[in-house]
A and B are shown apart, each in its own frame.
Chain A
């Protein structure tokens, strides 16, 4: 899961190349594992017991959820719907997240892909690490969670921290 420095530079360089075409695309992949905050989600024991763990990522104001899929994989997603920002609920039976406001459905199995509804893009997936003790950490996110100004500010803050 860990990216070495060279790979992370490649990711950032690719992101900045896209910025020239569109100011938004540059945000995608902003919290690559090398630059993103590392947040403790919980333990493997807790997850085995409940099947899901709530946490916040990348900031304390942005709810997220880690779940264990039927095939045993542990995955985590932002809980903020990409349509209008309502908090999505996890449905273990269908292994998808469903938005209570406008019924967008996102696959927990397939990288947050939109299965139905008005959401324009995937639910941002959160990269996890499980250490030897069974502690689970969130270490990156595939795209900024919904929320215009807040997101931009959060992104800028992250880059302020990592910029040399």
Chain B
């Protein structure tokens, strides 16, 4: 999941922002959001019994 998030974040940053600094920050944000949402959904689904 982390590898997937990292690779997708690279591409999103390339096409989504202009400027190296903005791209780097956007890639970091997208990566953290992917991982964070992944963990949040995993815990949410863990407590739902069906």
A joins B in a complex: no
